[in-house]
Amino acid sequence: MNAVLKSIEDRRSIRKFRPDSVDDEKINAILNAGRWAPSFLNLQPWKFIVVKDKAIKKQMGEKLRLPFLLTDYRGTTVYDFIAEVPAVIVVCVDAQKDKLHHVEAGAIATQNMSLAAHSLGLGSYWIGVFNHSYIEDGIKKILQVPTEFRIISLLPLGFPDEFPTGKRDNLEHLVYYEKFGGSWKHEEPMDS
């Protein structure tokens, strides 16, 4: 299996990080991966904010507290770890620059950065913010993000202190050919 496919399969969401700092060279490599994400008409509507200041990270973590986000499957309070991670990349997009596909552009940039982090031995945890106006507006205020920008995601980064496993459904449960509900295996059409 090639390195890209291996990174895609091996990457996991990490919530427990070692306290070791992440050097700027690795952060810049991750940001560069985000920069190279595809975007509609190559508009590149994204801006990335790197947050290392513990007080700012703590404020962002507090904005992420909502009643429906209180605990994860392990019973731990979700997002309490943000103040302690070495860095958080905030992915913003200019909704005026790309009115049609700014959400997708931000999501693709986030995915590129998540995979780049994994390939560099770091962990990340994709936190979707878009469409949670209370959270997004609060974080925009903390970071002084202009109104025309939307925050798509937060990407905490650091050296993992956990190595969760994961599984995915088999392709036979996910893939159809030619029409929804059709055969999951590609069958050559018969000549008439």
In a domain? residue 182: no
Establish if 114 belongs to a structural domain.
yes
How many CB atoms sit inside 10 A of residue 123's CB?
25
Residue 78: predicted pLDDT: 59
What letter represents residue 62's amino acid?
E
* 76 in a structural domain: yes
pLDDT under 50 in the chain at which residues? 67
So what's the pLDDT on residue 192?
Answer: 53
pTM for the model:
0.87
CATH of the domain at 127: 3.40.109.10
Per the structure, the count of domains in the chain is 1
What pLDDT shows up at residue 191?
A: 61
10 domain residue, yes or no: yes
Phi, psi of 149 (to 5 degrees): -95, 145
Identify whether 60 is part of a domain: yes
Could you tell me the residue range of the domain that residue 20 belongs to? 3-165
Helix axes 24-35, 102-119, angle to 10 degrees: 140
- Does 183 fall in a domain? no
Q: What is the pLDDT of residue 182?
A: 78
Q: Is residue 179 part of a domain?
A: no
Examine residue 170 and state whether it is found in any structural domain, yes or no.
Answer: no
| DSSP-derived secondary structure for 68-130 | GGSB-TTSPBTTGGGGGSSEEEEEEEETTT-TTTHHHHHHHHHHHHHHHHHHTT-EE--EE-T
- Alpha carbon distance 38, 64 (integer Å): 28
